[in-house]
Amino acid sequence: MKFTLLSLCLLMLASCARPGGYEGVMTRSYTVRGQHYQPMSVDEALHHQETGQASWFNESKFFGLVRGNTSLGEKVMPWHLIAAHKTLPLPCLVKVTNLSNGKSAKVRVNDRGPFIAGRIIDLSPRAAAKIDMKHKGLAQVRVEVMSVGDGSYKRKRRRGFW
């Protein structure tokens, strides 16, 4: 009984960890549904901002134990501030601003998508709630890259760019 309870507690704590830990930057090309995508370089991404339609996704299950890994192999948890983008290098940190209400959130892009025409970013449930778009499902947003990479590979956008 002690061992089982201790194991369960350790598993629960591990599932609460924040996403991260990927060392490096992923920029390799990929193909989805016959469409080829070439992610932008780190330098391009550090100067990137775009406006378009955001959606939100929920791929996690009960405490993230059933399913839900990103392109970087990280667990998807409903309380993480994460997102998916088709062409930004992985991982990167972006500021997403809902243009209808001005609310914004900084989210970690650690997955690919959305693969639906006209959408530029897919947000986790918590990120969608934070910018007050979860109840609507879609929102017009501005996406600004803050940094690219993790660990010793992390590069930040220089201040005063915009």
The pLDDT of residue 9 is 45
Is 3 contained in some domain?
A: no
Is 30 contained in some domain?
A: no
CA–CA distance, 65 with 38 (Å, rounded to integer) = 32
Q: How confident is the model at residue 63 (pLDDT cuts 50, 70, 90)?
A: low
Is 115 contained in some domain?
A: yes
Report the domain count for the chain: 1
CA distances for 134 relative to 48, 56, 64, 71, 156, angstroms: 25, 7, 20, 23, 29
Is 131 contained in some domain?
A: yes
pLDDT surpassing 60 at residue 26 = yes
Q: Which of 13-22, 27-36, 90-99, 101-110 has the lowest mean pLDDT?
A: 13-22
Is 32 contained in some domain?
A: no
DSSP string across the chain: -HHHHHHHHHHHHHHTSPS----B-B---EEETTEEE-PPPHHHHHT-EEEEEEEE-----GGG-SS-B-TTSPBP-TTS-EEE-SSS-BSEEEEEEETTT--EEEEEEEE----STTEEEEE-HHHHHHTT-TTTSEEEEEEEEEEE-BGGG-EEPPTT--
**What CATH number does residue 85 fall under?**
2.40.40.10
pLDDT 10s digits, 65-75: 444 578 888 87
Is 66 contained in some domain?
A: yes
Average of per-residue pLDDT across 14-38: 76
Q: Is the pTM of this model over 0.75?
A: yes
Is 145 contained in some domain?
A: yes
Is 27 contained in some domain?
A: no
- What domain range includes position 46? 40-156
